[in-house]
């Protein structure tokens, strides 16, 4: 496991603040009759330190998928599987699969297929809760479209949540990418939407807990 580079500054700032709190806690409460409060605050500092560090963890995983497999791009829970009209790029019917990421999930995002990046766009927006039906179109988000070697294209979208305030992505048009390569990171609660061709095979169902670079979402025909 490693820590994501997007977390370095946040972790340093958090540790300075938490250390300052703990030092004040020690000198103000350790030698008083309020010792129970000292231990309570100490526990709170340790929990906060753990939560900040674990949020930016990136497990070491060997990605092994077939040529036409669609890999899960993020850890989380499948909350949507439905046929929808995709209005930003395809302007036709697609299968939307949405994965909700809680603050306890790994928040690095990975390319679900190998191919050539055909489209990248960032949208400023609102910060509705990530499971809100309009979060995919109204929230801060980024959209990436990758063309597979067989000519099929899939769209995947990072969507900010109520807590998330920054979406990071590292792809650009005409870039060649490989399944499982990291393409972005979302800071705090969020979701990923995938838009697949209607003839795609789907291997997950609503409510499934999925893992980035491990779970097979489906397969391109």
Helix or strand run (H / E) with residue 47: helix 35-55
The closest of 112, 92, 161 to 132, measured between CA atoms, is: 161
* Whether residue 142 lies in the annotated active site: no
- In whole angstroms, give the CA distance from residue 36 to residue 130: 38
Angle between helices 35-55 and 8-29 (to 10 degrees): 170
Instruction: Locate the DSSP E strands across 43-91.
Output: 57-58, 69-71, 76-86
Distances (CA, A) of 137 to 60, 81, 88, 140, 142: 33, 16, 9, 8, 10
Query: Could you write out the DSSP letters of every residue in 103-145?
Result: TTS--EEE-SS-EEEEEEEEE--B---TTSTTHHHHBSEEEEE
Polymer length in residues for the chain: 221
The closest of 155, 169, 75, 77 to 113, measured between CA atoms, is: 155
- In whole angstroms, give the CA distance from residue 166 to residue 186: 6
Among residues 114, 135, 142, 190, the one annotated as catalytic is: 190
The residues annotated with a catalytic role in the active site are 190
């Amino acid at each position: 496991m490693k820590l994501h580079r997007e977390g370095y500054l946040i972790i340093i700032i958090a540790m300075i603040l938490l250390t300052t709190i703990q030092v004040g806690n020690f000198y103000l409460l350790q030698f008083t009759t309020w010792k129970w409060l000292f231990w309570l605050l100490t526990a709170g500092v340790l929990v906060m330190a753990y939560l900040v560090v674990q949020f930016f963890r990136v497990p070491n995983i060997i990605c092994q998928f077939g040529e036409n497999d669609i890999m899960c791009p993020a850890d989380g829970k499948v909350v949507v599987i439905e046929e929808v009209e995709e209005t930003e790029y395809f302007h036709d019917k697609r299968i939307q699969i949405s994965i909700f990421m809680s603050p306890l999930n790994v928040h690095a995002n990975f390319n679900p297929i190998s191919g050539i990046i055909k489209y990248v766009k960032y949208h400023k927006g609102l910060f509705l809760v990530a499971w809100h039906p309009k979060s995919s179109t109204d929230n801060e988000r980024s959209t990436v479209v990758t063309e597979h070697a067989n000519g099929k294209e899939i769209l995947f979208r990072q969507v900010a949540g109520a807590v998330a305030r920054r979406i990071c992505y590292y792809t650009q048009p005409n870039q060649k990418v490989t399944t499982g390569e990291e393409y972005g990171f979302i800071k705090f609660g969020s979701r990923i939407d995938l838009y697949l061709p209607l003839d795609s095979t789907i291997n997950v169902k609503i409510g499934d807990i999925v893992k980035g670079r491990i779970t097979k979402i489906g397969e391109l025909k």
